[in-house]
Amino acid sequence: MNMIQGQWPAAATVAATGRGDAGGAGRRGSSPQGATGLHQFRYTDNDFERIRELIHRCAGISLNPGKQHMVYSRLARRLRVRRVPSFADYIDLVERGDQAEMEEFINALTTNLTAFFREPHHFPLLARHLDRLVSHRRSLAVWSSAASSGEEPYSLAMTVVEHFGSFNPPVKIYASDIDTSALDRARRGVYAAERVRDMSPSRMKRFFLRGEGKNAGYVRVKPELQRLVTFERLNLLDEQWPLAERFDAIFCRNVMIYFDKTTQYQVLKRFVPRLQPEGLLFAGHSESFHQATDLFRLCGKTVYSPVGIARDGNREAP
């Protein structure tokens, strides 16, 4: 593998905690109001309920009632940065329309459990799917709709390079996420070496540079692979998605489980016209869409195809 000592971004550490941890099950702790004396900032049950409502409205995340202390620990740094004395004051600040702080608020409450080639059965299936389609269209498109810090879209890029035998494959890869800090890490493409410890030597040699000196212990995605992925911020709850493409595959894995059923259905409904008639939706291992059988049908292990889009292939995307 190539060795380089160049100036790599200082913030090379990649988050390894759970994406959407806000929605996961948790043991209910003591009331934040009762524990106020142990905290630097005043934080009440009412503050927590306001935060729950706000993050659900803005990002679709359903915080369960056991996450009071997680919320405090995630947001306390923002109160220090903004020099506000209480959570009530901080929530007021965010709700007044401070867009930069709203972005920081969302970033703080969305974390990113991801890995290269996570749920590995999806990648050879994607390669076969694209191979069937390439004879019909010159250019194909794949969307990683919850790209986090980049491991998934770079895995998609490696898959298509390997399958088509070229760093100029007939596939465009779009990658989006609501978390701007995760997207910054994704664009840099710098990862702790332990993140790729299970990758084969041939893949490492082909797709990564290994750091030396102050960058020892890190690897960087090669520029020719980075060029295959376009990263953009996108909130799946936004009224408009800045996408012109219809996709041959959409990856939305291990995100829907943190939405309530109504929000899941709304997002799935908007995915349908974004897919080509033969397109596939790749979901996470713990996700199922029984409430949306009018939209998608299961056609493989956590792989879905749209119902009805082939009969109405000219419908416009929202």
Residues annotated as part of the active site: 74, 177
SS3 312: helix
Quickly tell me which residue has 């029984």 as its tokens: 290
Q: What Cα–Cα distance (Å) separates residue 114 from each residue in 36, 124, 135, 147, 258?
A: 34, 19, 32, 9, 15
Quickly tell me which residue has 């459990």 as its tokens: 113
The span from the CA of 32 to the CA of 16, in Å, is: 26
Quickly tell me which residue has 């609501």 as its tokens: 178
Q: Kindly state the tokens that stand for 46.
A: 């009412």
Q: What is the torsional sign of CA 188, 122, 205, 216?
A: positive
Name the residue among 133, 132, 183, 130 with its Cα closest to residue 159: 130
Quickly tell me which residue has 């960058």 as its tokens: 215
89 HSE (CA, 13 A, CB side) = 11
